[in-house]
Amino acid sequence: MEALKNPTNKLTPEISIHKWCSLITFGDKIRGCKKQNMVKLVGIKFSDISMPKYYVDEGLELKIGDFCVCLWGEFETTGYVCAIEHRYTEEIPMRPLFKVIRKATEEEVEKWKALKERERSAIQCCREKALKYNLVMKISNVRFDDANNKIIFHFTADKRVDFRELVRDLAASLRARIELWQIGVRDEAREIDGYGVCGQRLCCAGFLREFKPVTIRMAKNQDIFLSPAKLSGCCGRLMCCLEYEEEEYKKLGANAPEVGAYVKTQNQEGYILERNLLMQTCVLQDANENKYNIKFDQIVEMKPPEHAQDEDDEELDEENNGADGV
């Protein structure tokens, strides 16, 4: 119980809170999990701007800053360890985690560093030449395909860009085949990665495999205050998480009165000022401006409010779910 009596022990980057908890002896179990169910996860970064991707370290004894080879997509890729965590298997999200293949050799480390330097110089070169041709585009990422002597640039732009002269100039400067792929702002956020206002990693980079349409109507169905600053994610579009609970809110709001509706109960009648879908309650104001908290099932008669259809919804939805690039 020494660990409990002395909780001020500093945690090194190599020991997380999960590892610290494992040192506390409550028999052989902590939260119902046996110690042998603990696995070591290492966060691997494949580039300086990307978020770490977690892999299982089995017997390699990797430390912060070590280079290793992992499976990323369909290819074996070199990256470096930036974080170490010890988790119980029950705490790991239900998605497949790959193992670290092996430690990187000195030759692979030098090759990785040289590649990152090439990427930085290639992006800088492309940005300078885009300015030279007055092209309104944002270069976000670059990939080298040495097997085919090809360099692929990813960029975002509000409109279609005629980059034929830019491609010819880049091909002459970099001496390789050049491809420019226009991607959407959501795809750019997925590539760069980051954290949302919730404090968690961006959903698109963490677990989302496809982008589903998100509409302003979803926010209205959930009675969320329609503030662009609060509803927009890092990409500037409506947050993907608005879609997660949409079906449940539809069920909760199936028999709910709208704000402004005229309703009658056994004892009162008046207009609805506000409602709480989760609690299934609303605030009713009668003709004398008295307010009452009532439940949805107390309403015996309801007249929907008369309001014009919000024409801005379709424009906002079209802008939010527009083509995210090819």
DSSP letters along 53-79, please?
EEEE--S----TT-EEEEEETTEEEEE
Please state, for a pLDDT cut of 70, what percent of the chain lies above it: 78
Structure tokens at 310: 């919000």
User: Where does the pLDDT of residue 48 fall: very low under 50, low under 70, confident under 90, or very high at 90 and above?
Assistant: low
Residue 127 has pLDDT above 90, yes or no: yes
36-50, 212-226, 309-323: the lowest-pLDDT one: 309-323
Q: What's the confidence (pLDDT) of residue 307?
A: 60
Contact between 281 and 275 under an 8 Å Cβ cutoff? The reply is yes
Eight-class DSSP state of 195: B
Domains of the chain: 2-104 (no CATH), 110-182 (3.30.300.20), 191-250+311-320 (no CATH), 259-303 (2.30.30.520)
Q: What's the confidence (pLDDT) of residue 126?
A: 92
User: Where does the pLDDT of residue 317 fall: very low under 50, low under 70, confident under 90, or very high at 90 and above?
Assistant: low
User: Where does the pLDDT of residue 196 fall: very low under 50, low under 70, confident under 90, or very high at 90 and above?
Assistant: confident
As a whole number of angstroms, the distance between CA 180 and CA 154 comes to: 6
Note the pTM of the prediction, 2 decimals.
Answer: 0.60
**281-285/269-276 β-pairing:** antiparallel
Q: What's the confidence (pLDDT) of residue 168?
A: 92
As a whole number of angstroms, the distance between CA 182 and CA 179 comes to: 10
CA distances from 120 to 113, 150, 182, 218, 224 (A): 11, 16, 19, 40, 42
User: Where does the pLDDT of residue 50 fall: very low under 50, low under 70, confident under 90, or very high at 90 and above?
Assistant: low
Burial of 290 per CB tally in 10 Å (0-12, 13-18, 19+): exposed
Residue 213 has pLDDT above 70, yes or no: yes
Q: What's the confidence (pLDDT) of residue 124?
A: 92
